[in-house]
Amino acid sequence: MIRVAERQWRALGLAMLAPLALGQAEPHLVPDVSDRNIEIRYSFAGAELLLFGAIIYPDGRPPEGQTDIAVVLKGPLERIVVREKQKVAGIWMNVGRVRFRSAPSFYAVASSRPLPQLIDERIAAIYELGVDNLQLSPGGGHSAEVLRRFEHGLIDLRMRNQLFAEYPRGVEISEGVLYRARINIPARVPVGTYTAETFLIRDGRVVAGAAREILIEKLGFEGFVARAAERWSVTYGISAVALSLLLGWGASAAFRRRYG
């Protein structure tokens, strides 16, 4: 259900941009990324993703005035519960909770200048630019103040885990036509299909946009283990028990032979 709604929303967003991109007088973007596939392997300690591309102007020359770029990398949406701890009888324990139906598992935005200097709040909310402008779809029954507190808690937690990030001067534009941005992918990044969206911003308006998909997956032994734990949980459990019995028995047998 949510995936369908998300797709429709994206289609709507692209439809809004299409006339802009096709219009003769308007520029368009040719984006690319350094890795279409990020593989999480045994030594994965994070990665740096390079997002770059060219701005194509209809008359071949950048026009007068400032042109800005914002690049957003967004992970798959998740349904989550955020819990809040409070002190109860001397013990810190979870007391309150709020559900969010569409929290991105990863969100990073890089821009050539700090976002508030580029766009107003309305535009930022439409394009979900900035960690404070994400549409998290909270569950009902909470006051606006409570929701703000939990949203802030979630954003703060994920920013410290590097799962949410803002790079206010993270996009370099050279000669007005080439741009590039670097975004850090931390080790505990969730797997799935990510979208990298690039926005061309002039005079407080988004004048062009383009998207690329990036696949982050667990491959090799790690991917196999993660999939096995999900799909063949009984076999996986038996293997874990067998492994521990084998190692325990093997070590004692080896030592007994050595020391009698």
Partner 1 sequence: MDIYLPIAGLSVNALVIVGLGGLVGLLTGMVGVGGGFLTTPILIFYGIPPAVAVASATTQITGTSISGVLAHRRRRGVDMRMGAVIIAGGIAGSIVGGLVFRLLQDMGQIDTVISLLYVILLGSIGILMAKEAATALEIIKPSQRKGDRPPRRHNPLIAALPMRWRFYRSGLYISPLAPLGLGFVSGLLTVLLGIGGGFIMVPAMIYLLGMSAQVVVGTSLLQILFVTAATTMVHATTTRSVDIVLAGLLLIGSVIGAQYGARLAQTMKPELLRMILAIVVLAVAFRMALQLGWRPEEIYTVQML
Q: Which one of 91, 145, 174, 175 is in contact with partner 1 (CB under 8 A)?
A: 91
Residue 240 binds partner 1 (CB under 8 A): yes
How is residue 214 written in tokens? 């990036």
Q: Does 76 bind partner 1 (CB under 8 A)?
A: no
Q: Does 239 bind partner 1 (CB under 8 A)?
A: yes
CB burial string 151-174: b at 16+ within 10 A, e below: bebbbeebeeebbbbbbbebbebe
How many other CB atoms are there within 10 angstroms of residue 253's CB atom? Answer: 10
Choosing from 82, 134, 201, 207, the residue that interacts with partner 1 (CB under 8 A) is 82
Name the one residue in this structure whose structure tokens are 């955020």.
82
| 147 binding partner 1? (CB under 8 A) | no
Q: Nearer to partner 1 by C-beta: 21 or 80?
A: 80
The site string for partner 1 over 9-48 (x = CB under 8 A, - otherwise) reads -------------------------------xxxxxxx--
Q: Three-state DSSP class for 87?
A: strand
Evaluate whether 45 touches 187 at the Cβ level (below 8 Å): yes
- Answer yes or no whether residue 238 interacts with partner 1 by CB under 8 A: yes
Whole-angstrom distance, CA of residue 12 vs CA of residue 259: 74
Instruction: Please list the residues that pair with 196 across neighbouring strands.
Output: 73, 212
241 near partner 1, judged by CB under 8 A: yes
Q: Are strands 91-104 and 77-88 parallel, antiparallel or unpaired?
A: antiparallel
Q: Which is nearer to partner 1, 46 or 176 (CB)?
A: 46
Largest CA distance in the chain: 87
Shortest Cβ 142–partner 1 spacing (Å): 14
| Residue 251 within binding range of partner 1, rule CB under 8 A | yes
Q: Smaller CB distance to partner 1: residue 122 or 160?
A: 160
Q: Tell me the two tokens of residue 156.
A: 């703060």
For 258, other C-beta atoms within 10 Å of its C-beta total 7
Interface characters, 189-228, with partner 1 (x: CB under 8 A): -x---------------------------x--xxx-xx--
Residue count of the chain:
260
Contact footprint for partner 1 (CB under 8 A): 40-46, 78-85, 87, 90-94, 97, 99, 150, 153-154, 156-158, 187-188, 190, 218, 221-223, 225-226, 229-230, 233-234, 236-241, 243-245, 247-252, 255, 259
